[in-house]
Amino acid sequence: MLRHFLPLAYPVFLASRTLLRAMGMHAPQLRVLIYHDVAPNELETFAITLRWLQKSWDFLTPSEFEEVMQGSRALTRDSLLLTFDDGFASNRIVAERVLQPLGIKAIFFAVAAFIDQPDTASAHAFICKRLKVGATPALIPAHLMNMSWEDLSCLLELGHSIGAHTNSHERLTGEVDPRVMHREIIDSANRLESKLSTRVRHFAFPFGDFASFSKPAIQLAMTRFDFIHSGLRGNNHPGSLPCTIRRESLKPDDSKSLVGAFLQGASDFRYRRLNEILDQWVLSRS
């Protein structure tokens, strides 16, 4: 329902932001985008959306984003960080065919056990059991596969960053056994570092909805990572906590008006209280 209404509201939110900027009352925004798979027939639409965004937003590199979040870099324009979750094979294609020509660098959050899948049948079984829970293997598109470890190494060579997205895409609720939580959060990142010979500073919770978070999970992640990403929408303003990064979940075929509405904060109010709770969990550990 919201995705049908928001495109209609986009001109209003854009006009409001433009007015505030003209009055000197609008600080630059910092939004983080989440994408997952980009199907072959969505590549051009996705590229068109990114080119459109580049007209009004600066795409930060992962290292630039880190500097902003740590207070050593100031924002002069509305800015974006691009991220991809799960580790789908299409991510490398997107990096080479879309991001490279546009000069955009991203963080690719990998599910370690998904990267391990050796063939189509096992990859589709994993997707149905862990990523698209309840889906039927027969209905999974043929292109929907996992990246390999070599693909992740290629992304690093292209200047992108790799983040941890758990070992097996487990929901990290408070009921999860502490040993399982350690394997999903800590061990998975250590394995990524070992296999790829790169530092892994970013962690993204699977699923991203509030029901998949827990205070023990966030506080454990804080012992290992400098930056922790949720799936709750919102602006990462100066002074935001680097352990409760807000992100905007989007689809490659989303209209420009829908993307624009999300980025102008049209649905932020729905996540405000949940983001406050996450902040409280982090601050109670600090």
pLDDT, one tens digit per residue, over 41-86 is 999 999 999 999 999 999 999 999 999 999 999 998 999 999 999 9
- Look at residue 9 and tell me whether its pLDDT is greater than 80: no
Alpha-carbon distance of 34 to 205, in angstroms, equals 12
- Topology of 2-283 in CATH? TIM Barrel (3.20.20)
Mean pLDDT, all residues of the chain: 94
pLDDT tens digits for range 201-254 = 999 999 989 999 999 999 999 999 999 999 999 999 878 999 999 999 999 999
- Look at residue 7 and tell me whether its pLDDT is greater than 90: no
- Look at residue 141 and tell me whether its pLDDT is greater than 80: yes
- Look at residue 16 and tell me whether its pLDDT is greater than 90: no
- Look at residue 24 and tell me whether its pLDDT is greater than 70: no
Q: What is the pLDDT of residue 97?
A: 98
Q: By three-state DSSP, how is residue 193 classified? A: helix
Q: What is the pLDDT of residue 285?
A: 73
Residue 10: which pLDDT band, with cuts at 50, 70 and 90? confident
Q: What does pTM read for this prediction?
A: 0.95
Q: By three-state DSSP, how is residue 79 classified? A: strand
Cβ pair 282, 222 in contact under 8 A: yes
> Percentages helix, strand, coil for the chain, rounded to the nearest 5?
50, 15, 40
79: its two tokens: 């800015």
Q: Tell me the CA distances in angstroms from 149 to 161, 190, 192, one per residue in order.
A: 14, 14, 9
Query: Bigger pLDDT: 11 or 284?
Result: 284
Cβ pair 148, 108 in contact under 8 A: no
Q: List residues bridging with 81 in a β-sheet.
A: 32
Average pLDDT of 146-167? Answer: 98
- Look at residue 189 and tell me whether its pLDDT is greater than 90: yes
Alpha-carbon torsion (96, 184, 231, 223), positive or negative:
negative
